[in-house]
A = this chain, B = another copy of it.
């Protein structure tokens, strides 16, 4: 009858989502148990489970053994966003990507960075500063510290030939990381590199990555004017 009808677990997912959206089931309400829904939709319990798990993963339901399934109090409170990969970010905007290596040398970690990486103060690390360009205009300024234990001593001398970012993607895998987004007034250094006025509001991403308990790298990305991160929820 209906021209387009979803089938399978997605059908149950969509129907439950509809009941939540249209407030047939309100935040905090307990919804029917899996076996009851399986009976209503005439399918196996596992199929209902698949649908409800998806909704729970997306933050629309709260599920508890014995406690049953309830509509979440704060619906759609989670957003997934892609962590920008600079090259792709630039190319997506239809611009040509390039970069300029500003510095690449071993130096003692600043106190605050050492703390972020949980390394002793004054530990030597590889300091890499890069300016990323879109169509040869400044796009993002990157200030990165890399744990020196990650590579042989004689390797980093050749860093001028590779983008540290790309090298890391190739070689410095990580299992987890902290990431923070914030706004800052451009320092004179940043303003100079990004070609904005000193004090301009710039979007900053601060990220530290880990391989198990070993810190891999800590990086601060300062984006030029107009940069924003978008996503859907």
**Hey, which bits of chain A sit against chain B, CB under 8 A?**
17, 20-23, 27, 57, 74-83, 85, 88, 169, 173-185, 199-204, 211-212, 223, 227-233
CA distance A223 to B203 in the complex (A): 13
In contact, B200 and A185 (Cβ under 8 angstroms): yes
Given contacts A176-B232, A183-B184, A232-B179, contact A82 B75 (CB under 8 A): no
CA distance A38 to B211 in the complex (A): 28
In contact, B176 and A233 (Cβ under 8 angstroms): yes
CB distance from A173 to the nearest CB of B (A): 6
| Copies per complex of this chain | 2
CA distance A224 to B56 in the complex (A): 32
CA distance A204 to B173 in the complex (A): 32
Residue among B21, B77, B199 making CB contact with A173, cutoff 8 Å: B21
CB distance from A59 to the nearest CB of B (A): 9
CA distance A97 to B183 in the complex (A): 23
In contact, A78 and B75 (Cβ under 8 angstroms): no
CB distance from A214 to the nearest CB of B (A): 11
Given contacts A181-B228, A201-B184, A232-B177, contact A79 B83 (CB under 8 A): yes
- 22 A-B contact pairs sorted by A residue (CB < 8 Å): A21-B211, A23-B173, A74-B169, A75-B173, A76-B83, A76-B174, A78-B83, A79-B179, A80-B81, A81-B81, A177-B232, A180-B228, A180-B231, A181-B228, A181-B229, A182-B183, A182-B227, A182-B229, A183-B202, A183-B203, A185-B201, A201-B201
